[in-house]
Every structure is written in structure tokens, then in C-alpha cells.
Structure 1
Amino acid sequence: MTVTTLSTVDADGDAVRSALFDAVGRLDHAIRPVVAYHLGWCDEHGRTVTADSGKSVRSRLAMLAARAAGGDERRAVPGAVAVELVHNFSLVHDDLMDRDATRRHRPTVWAVWGDAVAVLAGDAMLSLAHEVLLESGSPQAVPAALLVGRATQDLIRGQAADVDFERRNDVRLAECVDMAAGKTAALLSASVAVGAVLAEAPPVTVSALQTYGSEIGLAFQLVDDLLGIWGDPEVTGKPVFSDLRSRKKSLPVTWSLESGRPAGRALAQWLAQSGDPAESELRAAADMVETAGGRRWARAESGRRVRAAQRALDSAAIDPRYRRELHRLADFIVERSA
């Protein structure tokens, strides 16, 4: 099998990175180095480094969508920058809420500067995202900003549900899927849509791309949930069993709870407990999810979602060359290890 890499869809990476760098440079001097640190551009002392800046999936989607729609992809650069800023706003706040002290093999923003600075850094990126779009000069700037704003509201709704699930022992799979549709899929869907809108694609093309983005967003979350239990810390940059450590009601966990199998019932009893779990407990809980079938289901469901995304693309009148690139990006999502 040929392993898909993001290098196949990064033709505009330099343009987006340059625009993102310029945008961050507009931030206040007190918060700019914090954002630059989170993005992997410097260390906590402001010294330039080359660190992991993430996969930039959302900006790549925006640029590919513009090209696939037959428009001028340069018009999509502000949209690509905006969705990356919104995504990173959510990561900084997510790390704070989950008390995750490590991301991309480095201490998280709150772990270095404290809670208040992490909140402010996230807020700065969110507001900057809308500035970049609205000041772009594009005739589609307002519709694009509305798309990103609505996706952000969905993202916040999904994140709020995720937090609520931590206090509940009766979370259903349908609720968990709806949470993922907001927390992850909404911004991925908006990413492809904003690229197409800025390229002035017809509504039918935008709609097909939105469906594609929503489906790969759910696939992305399913794989993320698998990595949150079984991912290699050396690759993911997070501790082993990180989601189980916080007793998170992720998709494979919730499916296992509804499976009706003895391992699912044992998992429910373990999740209802309190206190910091020992490593042996976490390993046993991961085994419960696997025995109940949650791991196998999540892997199969992520593949099903990718196929649905690719069918949506095949129904759209887009350039076949870039349809193939979007197919490859969907494949990467289910093949990734971090």
C-alpha cells in the first residue's frame, strides 16, 4: 500500500505560511511571542526554532478547494490563514481545559505561561482570523467570514458538549457523533467551503465540498480518538492512554459502552470511578475498549466516512486533478499516526 503524505497537497504551503507569519506579526508585542511559540516558530524565550507546527490540514483544504473549483487559489490565502488561526485558538483552549501539558512534543501554552495567558493567546488568534478575512479586499470576504464564524460557534458547541460528557455516565453514541460534528467536522467543512467561496465557486460546488469536509472531519475525529488511546507518544507528542487518563467519552469508548458486551459493562464501571488511574488501570481500560469492539468499529467507521466524502466529491463539477488530491488528503486522514 502506498502511504499518503501531506507533501502531495502542499503546493501553496509557503504562501500560506508567509501570510500567517505576517498576520501574527500584527499582534500585540506581549501576546505575539506566545502565539509564535504555540505555532512552533520560537521557544519560550522567543528564540527562533524549527518545531512541529502541526499538519495544516485546514489551510491545505482551503487552497485545494479553490483550485478544484477552478478559481484563483491566491484568493483563498486569507481563508487558509483564518481557518488555521481558528484551529489553533481551539487547540490552546482545549489544552487548557483538558490540562494537557504537552502538545507536539513541547509544553503547552498554559503549562509555560499559565491559564490567563493561554486564554488571551487563543482569543487573539480567533479575533485575528476574522480581521484577516475582512481586510482581504475580496468581494467574498463577508460570506467567508460568516462561514468561519458559524463554524466557530459549532466548534464551541461541540467543545461544550465534550466538557459536559466528562460529568455524565449516560452519554449516547448519537450525542458523541453530534459533538464530533461540531468540535472537529464543522471547521474542516468550513475550510473547504471558504476556499471555494473566496474562489467564487457556484453554490452547488461549495455544497459538495462542504459535505466532503464534514465527512472527513468525522473520520479525522475517529482516528484522533484511536490515537488518544493507542497512539505512540513518540509520534503523537501526548502521553500514552491520554484520553482514558481523563476518562473521556470518546467515540470508540461510547460505542463500546453501547455494545452490550461484558467488556463494555466493565468499562462503564471503570469510567464511573474517580481519582487518578494507575498505568495498569489505563492499560486494562484500553483492553476493555478493544475487547468490546470499539477500536475495530472506529477504524471501520472512519473508512466509511472517507468513502462518503469521496462520493460527494465525485458528484461535483471540479477539476479531476484536484479531486484526486482531495481524495489523497482524505486517505491521509485515516492512515495518519499523529
Structure 2
Amino acid sequence: MKIPEILGEVRALVTPAMEESLSRLSPEIRRVIDYHMGWRDAEGRPVQRRGSKSVRPALAFLSAKAGGGEVKDAVPGALAVEFLNNWAFLIDDVMDGDRFRRQRETAWVVFGQGQAICAGTALLTLAQQVLLESPSADRLAALSLTMDTSARMLAGQTLDMTFEQRFDYSVDESMTMTQSKTASLMRCATSIGAILVGADDTVVDALADFGQSVGVAFQARDDMLGIWGTPDQTGGRPRGFDVKARKGTLPMAVALNDAIHGEELRKIFGQEGELAVPDVERATQLIDAAGGRQWTEDLARRMVERANTALARLTLEDDVRGHLGELAAMGLPDDVSR
């Protein structure tokens, strides 16, 4: 996947601001977060790692520009969405038992579950603090948005966890989980900058619709990578990781509800213990044969198209429109191997 150049520029801008905000945290919590962010190793030594792509901070900055403001006005919003994003990563990794992220061991594996949960909770709190300290007259509206977003993300995560206990969930339920757990944060990122600069509701609403659609596209692509992606695309996770973990993703939901292949797939997932390699391979074949891959790919493309339609409602500078379009295109699953 081609990474838009703007992400490198945003990372150079937002990382120092993040480090300054994080300096108020205790050394013990900061150590876990610095490791999770890819800035330091487990012993606290600086390392050269890619870390976060900074997609959501970039969207927050572009949101401010789209709303008639400046990038500097959106810094608190950019920090808030990045803190929310990494709060979710830290907590999800513990809940899901994921052992690798960004091509190294997850924070809970290195520091323990309790430390990772504390670090994630600290980020959630910090997301609220940076907005309360913002000079924007609309900071409370931005804070309300982030609190609503975190509640939606928690609802989505809770629903996701129920899928681990049953295999009768519908495609609609899986879509609800996607809308809540992933797309709500993208919606927040694409509208919070405009809120902070006092943009009209029509602008905020169009940007929110853009972000919601982009969020679904991103999750659909991630769901495909979780089954058919290579380790270099998935941060070190093996091919078929989501199948082995029986994750309730969109392709899985489509296949489980297929009249021809669903019953066999449910039997495989209903086995006790960890799935063997042949079972993972067979389940992957069934998901593909049931149309799970094609349905999810079509969804991602449709959502990117819908996002661009939302952008068409706005009068934007060419560079802002171009950057938003580039970031939306990251949801296209062209690079997921077959």
C-alpha cells in the first residue's frame, strides 16, 4: 500500500506534541506507552521504528482546514484521536490475547496485562484533558464528541467479544460492531478539527459522513488482511490469524450465514481448543467459497466511493480535497494477496 506523503509530515508535527502531553504521566505508565508507540524498546532505549501511520491526526488537521481554520487549531483534536486510537489498541490487545503489533510483541506481553490496561486508561484520560485545555471556544463540543466516540468504541468491543462465544451472529450484527468499534473513531477524526475551528454544521456533518464511510472501508480491508494478509502487512501476524482466533469479522459473518458452506464452518469453529493448521486452511477456503472475501472487498470499494460523495458536498481547497481523497483510498483492498 502506498503511504501518502502527508502522513510523514503529520507525524513530524504531532509526535513532539504527543510527547509533551505524555510528559505529565508517571514514568511507569510513560514507559509502557513509549514502547507501544514504537519510540523506545522495553528497556527505555530510543529505537528507530515506523510506529503509528498517524492517519487519524492527519484527518483531524485536514478537518480543520476544511472548516476554514488552520492546522495549529486542530492540534488538541489530533492528539485526542491518536490517544483514543492507542487506548483502544492497548486494551484490545489484552482482551483479544494478541501477541504482536507493529512487528514486535504487544505491550501486555512485555509489561503485563495490568500495566497495559493502566497505560490505555491513561491515554483515554489524556484525550479528554488536552481538549479541556484547548483555547477553542468549541472545546466542550469536541470533548462531547470524543466521549460519545469512546462509548461507541466500548459498545463495539463488547459486541465483538460476544462473537467469540457464539457463531450465529448476523452480517448486520458484524456491521454494527464495525460501525461502533472502528468507524466511530474515524468519524471523530474527520469532524473534530472542523468543530474546534467553529465550522458550520453542514461542513461538520459532511466530514463526519466522510469519516464514517472511510472507517468502514478501513475495517473491511483490515478484516481481509486478517485472513489473507501476509505477516509484513499485518505487523507480524501469520496468514489466517483471524480465522485461527475465530474473530467475528465481516467476511466471517458472511460465510457463517451462507446456506451452503456455513454449517461446515460452524462445525470447525465449534471445536474445542486451538484450531489446527488444516482446519484454518479449510475454514479460509470456506469463507472464500461462501463469498466472504468478495462481499467484503465490494463493501470497502463502495464505502470509499460513498466517502468521496460526501466530500463532493463541500467547497474545499484542492490540496485538502486531494489529501482527504488519498487517505480514503487507503481503505481500498488492492494490495491484499489472493
- TM-score under structure 2 normalisation? 0.95
Deviation at 1:263, TM superposition (A): 2.5
Q: Distance in 1 between matches of 2:302 and 2:190?
A: 20
The change in CA–CA distance for 1:189 and 1:139 in structure 2 (over 3 A counts) is same
The change in CA–CA distance for 1:98 and 1:193 in structure 2 (over 3 A counts) is same
Q: State the partner residue of 2:37.
A: 39
Q: Secondary structure at the match of 1:233?
A: coil
Q: State the partner residue of 1:274.
A: 272
Q: State the partner residue of 1:258.
A: 257
Q: Distance in 2 between matches of 1:35 and 1:158?
A: 23
For the aligned residue pairs, the C-alpha RMSD in angstroms reads 1.5
CA-to-aligned-CA distance 1:134-187 (integer Å, 9 cap, x gap): 112221211111111100100000000000111112101101101110000000
Q: State the partner residue of 1:241.
A: 240
How many pairs align?
335
Q: State the partner residue of 2:173.
A: 175
CA-to-aligned-CA distance 1:252-302 (integer Å, 9 cap, x gap): 010112232x22332122122221111121111111111111001101110
Deviation at 1:26, TM superposition (A): 1.4
Residue of 181, 184, 197 corresponding to 2:182: 184
Q: State the partner residue of 1:156.
A: 154
Q: After the TM superposition, list the runs of 4 or more consecutive aligned residues in structure 1 that deviate by more than 6 angstroms.
A: none
Q: State the partner residue of 1:318.
A: 316
Deviation at 1:335, TM superposition (A): 4.2
CA contact (8 A) 1:306 1:330 kept: yes
Matches for 1:1-338 after TM superposition, within 5 Å: 4-237=2-235, 238-260=237-259, 262-335=260-333
CA contact (8 A) 2:11 2:53 kept: no
CA-to-aligned-CA distance 1:178-230 (integer Å, 9 cap, x gap): 11100000000001110111122111000000000001111111111101111
Identity, in percent, stands at 37
The change in CA–CA distance for 1:13 and 1:336 in structure 2 (over 3 A counts) is farther
Q: Distance in 2 between matches of 1:284 and 1:26?
A: 50
Q: Distance in 1 between matches of 2:71 and 2:196?
A: 8
Letter in 1 for 2:19: F
Q: Distance in 2 between matches of 1:16 and 1:319?
A: 22
- TM-score under structure 1 normalisation? 0.95
Q: Distance in 2 between matches of 1:148 and 1:82?
A: 8
CA-to-aligned-CA distance 1:289-320 (integer Å, 9 cap, x gap): 11111001101110001101110110123333
Q: Secondary structure at the match of 2:83?
A: helix
Q: Distance in 1 between matches of 2:297 and 2:209?
A: 20
* Structure 2 unmatched ranges of 5 or more: none
Residue range with higher mean Cα deviation, 186-195 or 67-76: 67-76
